[in-house]
Amino acid sequence: MSSIRVNPNILPDLLSSLAQTRQQQETATMQLATGSRINQPSDDPAGAAQMVSNRDQSSQTDSFLRSIGSVNGLLQTADSTLSSVVTALQRAISLGVQGANGTLSDSDRSDVANELQGIQQQLLSLANTSYQGEFIFAGTSSAQPFIADAASPAGVTYQGNSGVNRVQVGPTYSVQVNQPGSQIFTNANGNVFQAISDLITGLQTNSGVAAAVGELSAAFNHVASQRVFYGNGINQLQDQQTYLNAEKVNLSTAANAISGADMANTAATLNQAEVAVNAEMAALGKISQTSLFDYLK
């Protein structure tokens, strides 16, 4: 008779399989707790490396979205400021047309000129609008852009510069976020301050009023065209924001695909591991309880 002799000491085998099941249990619990199946690089080295890029891109997308938020505020402020400028210029033009009427007395013209001086002040203040402590029409300078200056023919001098800033709102996409004040208010194609100053002088001296109204119309047209820059900027940012939000969803979908734990599956694994642990413990408790010695009486 020869039969295969089995290893009489099966305890180490059982213990090692128990340790393995315990490991499975721990991994599944960890995955359920974190919702991620990659909790350390070794869980999936390639996935972990992909997650580094994914997190970097998410962080970049978030910061682009934050930038869009700040820039959008700036552009909205500029746009509504220019809207007020346009309204003020409309009022100035209609006052100019009124003043050009030859039937007006000197005192009537003086009244109109006074009202225009008020508008001039308002325009100066609008041109010096600031957003979060920074003048928005000063180019890239931090100086107050327009200063009343009696010596200047236009009544103001521009103290800003002609610099523009661009802000990155996409990996290879940046938008210009400002127009220098000299470009908007004191441009050769339409000089707001020169025109209103000329109109006031014209009314006061009763000469060249019509020409000054013409200047004012040109200035009005110019400012209106500059406003389009801001309107376009706001639209671009909105489009980019929509794109980035979609991108964020894509990135988080990708992250979930790379590292997300399959909860149902993991829960099932955990259950199986628990069942296995119980079975192994039961086996461990049972073995070696009996040997032939127990039956020798």
Partner 1 sequence: MSNLTATMSIATGAIAVEQGALTETANNVANVNTPGYSRKQAQFSENPPVVLGQLTFGTGVSLGKVTSVRDPILQQQIQQQSGQESELDALVTGMKQVQAQFSSQGSDIGTQLSALFASLSQLSTDPANLALRQGVLTAAGNLASTFNNTANNLGAQRSNLDLNVSQAVAQVNTLTHEIAKVNAQITELQNLHEDASSFIDQRDVLINQLSGLIDVSQIQSDTGITLTTSNGTALVSGSQAFALSTQMDASGVQHIFSNGKDITSEINAGQLGGLLDVRDEKIPALLTSLDTLAAGIVNAFNHANSLGLDLNGNAGGNLFTPPPASGQGAAAVIAVAITDPALLAASSDGSVASNGNLANFSAIHDSGLINGETPSAYYSNIVFGVGNDVANGTAELQSSQLVLQQLQDQRGSLSGVSLDEEAANMVQYQRAYDAAAQLVTVINQMLQTLINMGTGA
CA–CA separation, 85 and 93 (whole Å): 12
**Alpha carbon 262 to chain centroid, angstroms:** 33
Which residues are bridge partners to 135 per DSSP? 130
The least distance separating partner 1 from the CB of residue 90, rounded to whole angstroms, comes to 31
Site for partner 1 in 116-135 (CB under 8 A): 132-134
CA dist 266 → 26, 30, 152, 163, 276 (Å): 11, 10, 78, 58, 15
Q: Which stretch binds partner 1 (CB under 8 A): 85-93, 122-130, 205-213, 287-295?
A: 287-295
DSSP label of 283: H
Site for partner 1 in 4-43 (CB under 8 A): 4-9, 12-13, 16, 39-43
Site for partner 1 in 81-110 (CB under 8 A): none
- What sign does the dihedral 77-79-80-85 (CA atoms) show? positive
Residue 169: closest CA among 98, 254, 69, 77: 69
The single residue among 94, 101, 125, 165 that binds partner 1, judged by CB under 8 A, is: 165
Q: Which stretch binds partner 1 (CB under 8 A): 2-10, 202-210, 228-236, 274-282?
A: 2-10
Which residues are bridge partners to 148 per DSSP? 156
Binding track over 41-80 against partner 1, x by CB under 8 A: xxxxxx-xxxxxx-xx--xx-xxx-xx--xx--x------
Residue 265 tokens, joined: 């599956």
**Binding-residue total with partner 1 (CB under 8 A):** 56
Binding track over 169-208 against partner 1, x by CB under 8 A: --x--x--x-------------------------------
Q: Give me the count of residues in the chain.
A: 297
- Asked if 138 interacts with partner 1 (CB under 8 A), we say yes
Residue in the block written with tokens 């990996």: 171
Whichever of 235 and 288 has its CB closer to partner 1, that residue is: 288
CA–CA separation, 167 and 177 (whole Å): 7
Residues engaged in binding partner 1 (CB under 8 A): 4-9, 12-13, 16, 39-46, 48-53, 55-56, 59-60, 62-64, 66-67, 70-71, 74, 132-134, 138-142, 161, 163, 165-168, 171, 174, 177, 291-293, 296
